[in-house]
Amino acid sequence: MNDYTTVNANEVITKWPFSEAALGIKANVIREILKISSQPGIINFAGGLPASELFPQTHLNEVSQVVFEKHGAKALQYSLTQGIIELREVLAERISTPDNRYTPDIIQITTGSQQALDLIGRAFINRGDYILTEAPTYLGALGAFNYYGAKYCTVPMDEEGMIVDLAEEQINKYKPRFIYMVPTFQNPSGITMSMKRREALVELARKYQIPIIDDNPYGELRYSGEQVPSLKAMGGNAVISLGTFSKIISPGVRIGWVAACPEVSAMIEKVKQGTDLHSATFTQYLVYEYINAGYLDPHIELIKKAYRKRRDVMLNSMANEFPECVKFTRPEGGLFLWITLPEGVSAANVFDKAIEAGVALVPGKTFYPHEDNDQNFRVNFCHPSEDNIKEGIKRLASVLNKVC
Amino acid sequence: MNDYTTVNANEVITKWPFSEAALGIKANVIREILKISSQPGIINFAGGLPASELFPQTHLNEVSQVVFEKHGAKALQYSLTQGIIELREVLAERISTPDNRYTPDIIQITTGSQQALDLIGRAFINRGDYILTEAPTYLGALGAFNYYGAKYCTVPMDEEGMIVDLAEEQINKYKPRFIYMVPTFQNPSGITMSMKRREALVELARKYQIPIIDDNPYGELRYSGEQVPSLKAMGGNAVISLGTFSKIISPGVRIGWVAACPEVSAMIEKVKQGTDLHSATFTQYLVYEYINAGYLDPHIELIKKAYRKRRDVMLNSMANEFPECVKFTRPEGGLFLWITLPEGVSAANVFDKAIEAGVALVPGKTFYPHEDNDQNFRVNFCHPSEDNIKEGIKRLASVLNKVC
């Protein structure tokens, strides 16, 4: 025994001096839901995961060797906070349109889209500031912005996305810091904002000089319907767009990006530096060489084909098995669709019964900043197999047919 | 041309509504210094980089294929915020001592040590809170804590590290939120805290119930002298320790960790989730399989041998070439040593002359929370080759011999 063991190593500081912001973080509801969902025998429509069996393992293994051979120590060393230039060049090219050409200096690489949301919060939010969002909206954004003490003013959605006509009143009343949107194949609703609404929103942002955050993780995953331009393509420098390779290559590489104007990009770089210096150099090169080998676009076609099929299987199963009074969206892309229960039927109740019946989904409440919803569910149609989709919808229908 | 190009894409929001915290971030001095240091012809002692040519490229390439073959899709999918269990098990075992056994639940994987510093700031600091640090201290910690509005009370160091006798007055006066330390082979000074001082500091932390942050990125890189136990090993749950693979495997994988008590680990996990969901799954498995293959400990021996040699070459060159009045530390490990100029000689002046002479180092000012220093330099003796060390010290000595 050493002298220093006179200090009791198991002693705990009586009251850990946690910050008020940290103590204010609410328990993560979805974590509990995912814990329940992963019990054996449960068909899981709850998670936000892409399909594991579609990851391009063989090609990524191949290009990982290219990374070592071609970039060597450079891929293992510290690198720029902005991200490696090779990847930023490719991204600037990919998001450029004939009308808007982008250069690598407006791209900031992030540790997945989630870090982009955190850095946006860090760069823009003072405690008590309002953010204007769609209702429902992406829960990961709420998780990121909540730490910074954000409050929310919300605008409801219909089948064309946010009802922009209702946004101006909110803007005048709450003076939001920015507008946060998932306008394309929205998480959680699956809804895509119409061209007309996009135009109206960009006009509104210009009129009030409020930046729009265009969170666009699913934009490349369109299965049907007509392409609409991204908000970024329409609004130019008034729009800060977020992208990620999580849904089109792999979430485990944790590579996303922010595309903004030089002034905002420089600020995002500045606030990122203190948080992690930079995202993993190695996985940045991995993604770059994967794209460089020409693998990305064919891979996107491959997963689109599989996801389109799963979506159709789910939509058909729902149409055949659900009672008429239960509504659901018919997304043109992305990972999720949205169930609306008839008035008077509680999603919390249905959730418990669904778990008993062996199927998990996420109650809508989680996606509302003010949690004022007990009528909806988010359903992931990309992660489960076609057989599990059929069986899971059968189980869910048996519950719905009893309560509706 | 589409209709939507009626919006001027190059228009910028007149006044970007950045947050006060973001606007308060100071320009990064070291970035400017590193830009100067990387000019052709300059021998660079300024950076914080480990030696690129010593990265275990061949073994990492080998185990990257093991990751694909053994873990497949799991290494590419979303994973737990805490980090993969395999790596947390290995780390818990590595930091356990006969007296203190640790379990994987007290380990939180982070995106390098820098993210651990950010998460500590996030979990503990309210704007205006004081942090007690050594003076000088690690500039990356200042960068992380500054965003959260930290103020600093500082305690000077001598050759035994922080002069703990002077700390109690600071604690009484400023009621610091926590004590932040790099007690072993400190960045920037290279100094290691003595056993006696460690005991005194732990006692003080217990008396005032203030947690100690033991930032320990270099602990495994001892080249001479006698091993001292880590503050974590001495202080148990009163100490939150930070570690990283950046200096012993590769910084580009961005894998570090926090080891704390369950209560603090749970809070760090909670505050991390909103920032990036989790660190890269792929590089976590890469590091895990590298250790699992038995490569880590022999590799540490290999780099220790090379770094010891470089340290000795630098110390000998300095002893031979520097004027007597210029003092420097003789670190027993780590990456850095610390030059002290004679009174009246300005480090800012010497820096400019050193750049002219073709050698770069970091002025001490950057490492002082209150920037009240113009007498010191940090020197990296691990990144440059032995030849460059000799030549760089010759150049520096020519400057010093003129001004001292």
Phi, psi values for residue B60, rounded to 5°: -65, -40
The answer to whether residues A379 and A317 touch, using CB atoms and an 8 Å cutoff, is: no
Res A105 pLDDT > 70: yes
Q: Within chain B, which residue ranges are assigned CATH 3.40.640.10?
A: 71-292
**Number of CB pairs < 8 Å for A and B?**
316
Residue-wise DSSP of A15-65: S----HHHHTPPP-HHHHHHHHHTSTT-EE----PPPGGGS-HHHHHHHHH
pLDDT band at A27 (very low <50, low <70, confident <90, very high): confident
Look at residues B168, B164, B161 and name the one whose alpha carbon lies nearest to residue B193.
Answer: B161
| Pick among B15, B53, B77 to test the A interface (most A CBs inside 10 A) | B77
Residue B236 has its nearest CB partner, among A9, A126, A253, at A9
Pairwise CA distance, residues A17 & B263, whole Å: 11
pLDDT in tens, A347-362: 999 999 999 999 999 9
Residue B277 has its nearest CB partner, among A76, A114, A280, at A114
pLDDT in tens, B55-107: 999 999 999 999 999 999 999 999 999 999 999 999 999 988 887 788 999 99
Lowest mean pLDDT among A36-50, A178-192, B297-311: A36-50
Question: Is there a contact between A12 and B237 if contact means CB atoms under 8 Å apart?
Answer: yes
User: Which of the two residues, A2 and A286, has the higher pLDDT score?
Assistant: A286
Question: Model-level pTM?
Answer: 0.96
Average of per-residue pLDDT across A335-347: 97
Distance from CA of A119 to the nearest CA of B (A): 8
Distance from CA of A259 to the nearest CA of B (A): 13
Whether the complex's predicted ipTM is more than 0.90 is answered with: yes
Question: Is there a contact between A122 and B271 if contact means CB atoms under 8 Å apart?
Answer: no
Pairwise CA distance, residues B63 & B287, whole Å: 9
Mean pLDDT, all residues of chain B: 94
Contacts of A172 (CB under 8 A, 6+ apart): none
Instruction: Judge: domain B20-56+298-403, CATH 3.90.1150.10.
Output: yes
Q: Could you tell me the fold of the domain covering B71-292?
A: Aspartate Aminotransferase; domain 2 (3.40.640)
Distance from CA of B60 to the nearest CA of A (A): 9
pLDDT band at B404 (very low <50, low <70, confident <90, very high): confident
Q: What are the structure tokens assigned to B240, written together? A: 């939150």
The answer to whether residues B171 and B204 touch, using CB atoms and an 8 Å cutoff, is: yes
Average of per-residue pLDDT across A291-312: 98
Chain A residues with CB-CB distance to B77 below 8 A: 49-50, 52, 55, 250-252
Which CATH number among 3.40.640.10, 3.40.30.10, 1.10.275.30, 3.40.605.10 corresponds to the domain A74-292? Answer: 3.40.640.10
Question: Is there a contact between B144 and A274 if contact means CB atoms under 8 Å apart?
Answer: yes
Judged by DSSP in three states, A367 sits in: helix
Residue B280 has its nearest CB partner, among A14, A53, A283, at A283
Pairwise CA distance, residues A80 & B31, whole Å: 10
Q: Within chain B, which residue ranges are assigned CATH 3.90.1150.10?
A: 20-56+298-403
The answer to whether residues B379 and B301 touch, using CB atoms and an 8 Å cutoff, is: no
pLDDT band at A8 (very low <50, low <70, confident <90, very high): low
DSSP assigned state of A282: H
pLDDT band at A9 (very low <50, low <70, confident <90, very high): low
Question: Is there a contact between A276 and B278 if contact means CB atoms under 8 Å apart?
Answer: no
Average of per-residue pLDDT across A93-118: 92
Pairwise CA distance, residues A351 & A326, whole Å: 14
Res A247 pLDDT > 50: yes
Res A1 pLDDT > 50: no
